[in-house]
Amino acid sequence: MIRMYKLIVTATLLLTAIQGENWPTVKLVYPPGGILLAGEDTSINITMEVNGEPFPRIKLWYKDGVELRSSDKINIDESQGKLQSLKINSVKREDEGNYYLIVGDETTDERAKSPSVKIRVTFLENQFKEVNQVVTANVGSFAVLKCHPPNHFGASPNYWWSKSGARIADTRNVYVSEYGDLVLLQVGYADRASDYRCTIEIQSLKEGFRSKQGPPVSLQIVGSAGAYQAPVIALKPRDLEIDAQIRRTFRMECVANGYPNLPTVTWYHNNKRITASSNVYDTQDPHSLKVTIFRTGNQVSGTYRCEARDASQASVTAYADLTVITKPIITTGLPDTEIKKASGASLVLSCAATGTPPPQFMWLKNAEDLTATTNLIIQGQTLEIPRLGLLDRGVYQCKAFNKQGGSMSTGKVTVQERLAFAIKPSDQEVYLGESARFYCLGKGDPGPTSLRWQFNGGNPPSSHVVDSDLQNQATYIIPKASTTDNNGKVTCIIESEENIQSQDQATATLTIRQGPQVKPQQDSYTYKESENAELVCLVHNHVSPTWKWLFNGLLISEPDNKRIAIKNGFITIRRLTGADQGNYTCQADEGGYSNSALITLTVLTSPVITLDDQIRTGQSDTLTISCNAKGNPQPIISWRRNGGAVVNNNRYSIDNSVTGLSALTINNADKDTDVGDWMCVASSSMGQQTKTINVIVVGICEVMKIPKNQTLEYGQVLTVFCSVNRCPNARRTWLKDGRNVMTDGRKTILYDDRIEVTNVEPTDGGVYNCSVDSNDSRNIKQSFEATVKVEVPAKITYFPDGRNVLFKDGESVVLECTARGEYDSTSVVTVTWYKQNVMIKSIHSEQRNQVQKIMTVTQRLVISSATASDTGYYQCTAVNKYKSQDKRDVVLQMITFPGAPNRPYSTWIGAGVMELAWEEPKDTGNTPLTSYELEIEDSGNNVFRPFLQGLPPDKQSATIYFLSTNQEYRFKVIAVNQVGKGEKSDAGEKERTFSDLDGLTANLVQEVKATALNSDTVNIKWEEPKSRTPSLQGYRVVYRNEGTLGVPQFTKNVDTSVREFNVSGLAAGSTYSFQIESNTGFSTVLTVSTTFNAETLNQRPDPPINCLADRQESSRMGVTWDPPLQTHGSILKYTVYYKDVDSTDGQWNTIEQKDRLQPSILLSAIDSSIDYEVEVTASNSAGEGPRTQCTSTGKVVNLPVHQQWWFYLLLVIFLLLLIAIIVTIVICCCRRGCCFCFASSGPRKQPLRSGGVVLARESRWSRFKGMFSKKPKHQPLRTQGNQHYSVHSSIRVTRDVSLYVSHLIYTCHT
């Protein structure tokens, strides 16, 4: 059943596509005016005519929004085909309301709503509103008797009065008003009565007339006939509001009284006198004007004036307003023809209607209210959809309504999805002889009606297989690719006559991959250690390539022991070890082409344990033993002792939380129970391995951690332990090669339990001995020694930074490798360069340097004018006698021009603007891109010109401004890197911008003008759009310099009330393109004006004015000025020129003031004895303007020296220095110990310092010199070199005497 339903739906859709769809419509047949009056308990019928192709299958009746169902009261009749009827039996007042019909079809979302029918029920209640009226009137005046009828409704109720049971006829003096009131003019006593009665009659469809008679009204007459009475309005006209659908005729009443003669009444409509009866006005009744309404009633609406005038020309006037309530009438509706739009375009619908009161508007789509829909904008009679989607198609209705009713205009909107590709043929790369397949599937609404393939722009060759299936993906097959197919272009073309875009095409490139087609026999292998492995790669399209094998990216060479054997695509590895596990690459080369495949080798290995042979700990200490085990698969580690397993308890705990590591902890170690061998066991599916460690528990003052033999490398840290268990008084003695080891605090440091040597050198090797003495009553003495060897294997210390070195074609490349290592008579450090694992024998330069036993070797590999053949994998190795080879590798890559990006395609198209996107090129030239550029073809002659430059490299899309409307364009994309511009992409498909008819010109500004104001500013003016939508928020100017072809720039957004804008900051003398962009708040929908150009002026600024150079001080000058009168643009800077007025070389000094808002500058550190000439210029974007000469004030010219300020400063400094010298001499004499010897007295004791002076006068000097243990000896004092010398009677000790000053006694002999 479901399949049958799908078949029916598919057939229906297909038939619709063939015949053309006609959306459903509903037309009112009965009642013709949309108003139906019914008497109570009668039956009524409403009839609608329904049309549509296919005929609507859904027909639903509603009353005031509530769906109606068939019942005893409601009868829905669909048996008459197009005529649909609704019958209501026994109508009641609760049945009043608005009735309408909605039709549609379940296969579409389109719905149509009929005009509404208003039902009113006539009735007449029993009770009059007021009773027992008494009216009193003077003789000759008038009387008005009120009827006060009961509540009622019906067509034109009739009123008449009776007096004493007899019906009163209308006369000149008697009048019954429109509302049932009785007016008696020039009453007399004969009119007195107490039984005036009012009767009302209502016409009913079922019963004919219904009537009710009211209570009696009494009229009393008083007074007598008097003299003349001026006209007076007895019954004034009322303001009327008439429902033209219910009442077509009515009366404007004006009853006037006067005495002795009744006045004559004249009528005016809007101040125009109504002179005679016509088809609109009936003037025969002297007391009323009968009005007939035609069509909308506009011809009778307005102000009415009745004028009552008697024979003496006395008059009185009364006014009334007449408003005819009319149902809205659509004056401008939606188009009768189908509105076709493309997906992504905008749509603006509007309608206009007249009616009284002015109508309101409601928008519906498929009979559903659109008020709450978020993707559109509704403002009164305008509906705007900024960006159409497929869901926006359907039947739209504009409903104008007021309290009188509504009218509706209907239009159908079809949104077409442009032809596009759901599946595009993609570029293919196949080996020679392989098959290639391309797939294509079109989409659109309407979809493509034809699909065809092309190869290289023409029909496909007969050897190619073509399938053009429209429903499923079409296929293009090349069964066996040949060299003639290389770089072939396979194009899929889809077409549709019904779609807005009639054609689209997509092209893919076929690349024939040259060289061997390499495939591994297996992607992965697994072997056990010691087994032999054979890895196999096969070539499917060649028979004799050259083979290479790589292991983890490094070239494999066959070793001397022949453990590895390579033969073409086979590699055999004998006696496998764990180190052989990894990734193997087989590479086949032929004819300059190379291809490879990857194979993963897994080697299963037995467990291998790493564990010390012995460990020492102190009595009662906590000991942790670590056992490491490796293997593939990872082994499980356990512990055993004395043949039994070690388990966790309060003394022993095992931690296996780290993979490959087991930690055994012994708490409170004991000499009696824990000493001995402990076994670590590692088990896996590859076997089991055990290893024991001897635990020694030492007592108090015994060595717990003994020195061990070590082999270190140059620069490492040497640590030799010799710790003692709980022995605070122990003494340790350290010897190296029999000599005491002394700490220096830096390189060699002695600790309580160890000796530590940092940055070891070969000289730090030797035999280290630790002797321990308990230094107590135990008298425990122990001695241990260890041999330390320091090796300096070859190590590379300098190599190019980074993994890759990039170069341009033709550049010189220098690769430097520096290594150091131990050197002796038997070995030197050898540095070797390799390329692709082949040794390079010719080296540009080598430099060697030896310090003690360390040799440093530097080799520079210089490649002059490097080319693509020099690219590859380079390796530097360093080796000496230790055979441990240090390696560093680098990849040398030539950076080239980038490849071509994929051809660009449009993602959105507007009027004068579009969005383009592309993909990054697969080949960026081995270096990051710096930018993209676009070329454009707009003339249809396949000539492309530069259009846009400097697009950011990280974004593969751009908004293209400055296009024309309704014009085809094609684009090419160019990628740019540091080498330069790469290849151009293939040209994109032709893309046509929208025209005015596409609905994208709403909000488009008009009459744009551009005027250059100066060298950097252009004034833009425009007029507001002819068509403006509610979403318009403002404008902004898009502009760019056509000389640079740079990316567009944007001004700030301005309000919709703005009509001009100054674009500043432009380059002088340059041509700029401009567009005005309307901001609607929708970033995906752009509305831009046509492109217009303007050229900035190339004028430099005038000179500054009012320049003043004020000599504030001798060495400072302040320069001020005012801006130029004509700047011709924004001032960028000011330049101040100054020079000596007497200078003959014409050399000017300059200083710039870049703060254009501060027209002043301070010249400091100028020569105080020189007069200066000062000039100032201003600069804008066009350049520097002419100079203006400044007026100088406060000149300082050739002052005498003693009048210069610096003369007094130097004088003060000289005096201060002189005073300081004198004070220093006095202080030195007082503090350095002077001995004065006179004839009358001996020398005084004085403290003597190094260099002190001993003074005497014409005396002989001698000294007693003695050491601690010798008797002092008297010696004459002689001059000994620079130790002593005599000057008159003084002696100066110039050598440091601080060591023996305490035992020198100087004597003076007179």
- Average pLDDT score over residue span 965-972: 89
pLDDT score of 1232 more than 80? no
Residue 995's Cβ-side half-sphere holds a number of Cα atoms within 13 Å equal to 5
CA 287 to chain centre: 81
| C-alpha separations of 491 from 104, 427, 940 in Å | 43, 11, 20
Neighbours of 44 (CB within 10 A): 21
Model pLDDT, residue 1001: 63
Model pLDDT, residue 926: 85
- Average pLDDT score over residue span 546-563: 81
DSSP character at residue 1156 = T
Give tens-digit pLDDT for 1016-1044.
Answer: 899 999 988 887 777 788 899 999 998 88
3-class DSSP state of 286: coil
Structure tokens that stand for 775 in this block: 């230094």
Cis peptide before 357 (omega within 30 of 0): yes
* Bridge partners for 505 per DSSP: 493
Q: Report the C-alpha gap between 813 and 810 in whole angstroms.
A: 9
CA angle 1027, 1028, 1033 (to 5 degrees): 155
pLDDT score of 60 more than 90? no
Give pTM, 2 decimals.
Answer: 0.46
Q: Report the C-alpha gap between 400 and 363 in whole angstroms.
A: 9
Model pLDDT, residue 1262: 43
- Long-range pairs, 348-352, Cβ under 8 A, ≥24: 348/382, 348/383, 348/384, 348/385, 348/999, 348/1002, 348/1027, 348/1029, 349/382, 349/383, 349/384, 349/396, 349/398, 349/411, 349/413, 350/381, 350/382, 350/383, 350/398, 351/381, 351/398, 351/400, 351/409, 352/381
pLDDT range class, residue 922, cuts 50, 70, 90: confident
Q: Report the C-alpha gap between 1156 and 545 in whole angstroms.
A: 74
Give tens-digit pLDDT for 802-811.
Answer: 778 888 888 9
1002 within 8 A of 346, measured Cβ to Cβ: yes
Q: Report the C-alpha gap between 706 and 720 in whole angstroms.
A: 8
Model pLDDT, residue 786: 93
Ranked by mean pLDDT, the top range of 836-840, 849-853, 1043-1047 is 1043-1047
pLDDT range class, residue 1135, cuts 50, 70, 90: very high
pLDDT range class, residue 1243, cuts 50, 70, 90: very low
- Average pLDDT score over residue span 834-838: 83
pLDDT range class, residue 1263, cuts 50, 70, 90: very low
Model pLDDT, residue 508: 92
Give tens-digit pLDDT for 356-415.
Answer: 888 999 999 888 888 888 888 888 889 998 888 888 888 999 999 988 778 889 899 988
Model pLDDT, residue 873: 83
Q: Name the residue with higher pLDDT: 129 or 1159.
A: 1159
Model pLDDT, residue 1297: 37
pLDDT score of 157 more than 50? yes
pLDDT score of 231 more than 70? yes
pLDDT score of 609 more than 90? yes
Q: Report the C-alpha gap between 899 and 1038 in whole angstroms.
A: 32
- Average pLDDT score over residue span 122-141: 78
- Average pLDDT score over residue span 174-191: 86
Q: Report the C-alpha gap between 1259 and 1256 in whole angstroms.
A: 6
Q: What is the share, in percent, of the chain residues with pLDDT greater than 90?
A: 24
Model pLDDT, residue 35: 79
Model pLDDT, residue 491: 94
601 within 8 A of 522, measured Cβ to Cβ: no
Rg of the chain taking only CA atoms, in angstroms: 58
pLDDT range class, residue 1200, cuts 50, 70, 90: low
Residue type present at position 708: K
| 103-117, 354-368, 695-709, 1091-1105: the lowest-pLDDT one | 103-117
- Average pLDDT score over residue span 80-105: 86
Helices (H) and strands (E) in the chain, counts: 2, 113
Residue type present at position 701: C
Q: What are phi and psi of 899, to 5 degrees?
A: -75, -175
Q: Report the C-alpha gap between 1192 and 1186 in whole angstroms.
A: 19
Give tens-digit pLDDT for 38-47.
Answer: 877 788 899 9
Q: SS3 breakdown of the chain: % helix, strand, coil, rounded to 5?
A: 5, 50, 45
- Average pLDDT score over residue span 966-984: 92
Give tens-digit pLDDT for 727-748.
Answer: 888 888 899 998 988 887 778 8
Residue 918's Cβ-side half-sphere holds a number of Cα atoms within 13 Å equal to 29
Residue type present at position 442: G
Q: Report the C-alpha gap between 368 and 374 in whole angstroms.
A: 14
Q: Report the C-alpha gap between 813 and 832 in whole angstroms.
A: 17
823 within 8 A of 913, measured Cβ to Cβ: no
Ranked by mean pLDDT, the top range of 55-69, 444-458, 1141-1155 is 444-458
Cβ neighbours of residue 858 under 8 Å, at least 6 residues apart?
798, 816, 817, 818, 831, 846, 847, 848
80 within 8 A of 86, measured Cβ to Cβ: no
- Average pLDDT score over residue span 172-185: 86
| 111-120, 585-594, 1290-1299: the lowest-pLDDT one | 1290-1299
Ranked by mean pLDDT, the top range of 107-111, 1067-1071, 1154-1158 is 1067-1071
582 within 8 A of 653, measured Cβ to Cβ: no
Q: Report the C-alpha gap between 899 and 920 in whole angstroms.
A: 9
| C-alpha separations of 372 from 364, 365, 376, 639, 1067 in Å | 11, 12, 9, 78, 50
| C-alpha separations of 406 from 46, 230, 358 in Å | 17, 49, 11
Model pLDDT, residue 47: 92
Model pLDDT, residue 405: 79
Give tens-digit pLDDT for 274-321.
Answer: 887 777 888 888 888 888 777 666 778 889 999 999 888 888 999 999
Provide the sign of the torsion angle of the four alpha carbons 3, 6, 11, 14, taken in this order.
negative
Q: Report the C-alpha gap between 189 and 284 in whole angstroms.
A: 29
Structure tokens that stand for 445 in this block: 């609404």
3-class DSSP state of 920: coil
Model pLDDT, residue 8: 33
Model pLDDT, residue 351: 93
3-class DSSP state of 184: strand
pLDDT score of 1206 more than 60? yes
pLDDT score of 1015 more than 80? yes
Q: Report the C-alpha gap between 496 and 450 in whole angstroms.
A: 7
178 within 8 A of 288, measured Cβ to Cβ: yes
Structure tokens that stand for 1006 in this block: 């008009």
3-class DSSP state of 1218: helix
**Which of 598, 500, 484 lies closest to 552, judged by CA?**
598
Q: What are phi and psi of 819, to 5 degrees?
A: -135, 155
Q: Report the C-alpha gap between 661 and 153 in whole angstroms.
A: 104
1074 within 8 A of 1088, measured Cβ to Cβ: no
Model pLDDT, residue 723: 83
* Bridge partners for 399 per DSSP: 362, 408
- Average pLDDT score over residue span 619-644: 92
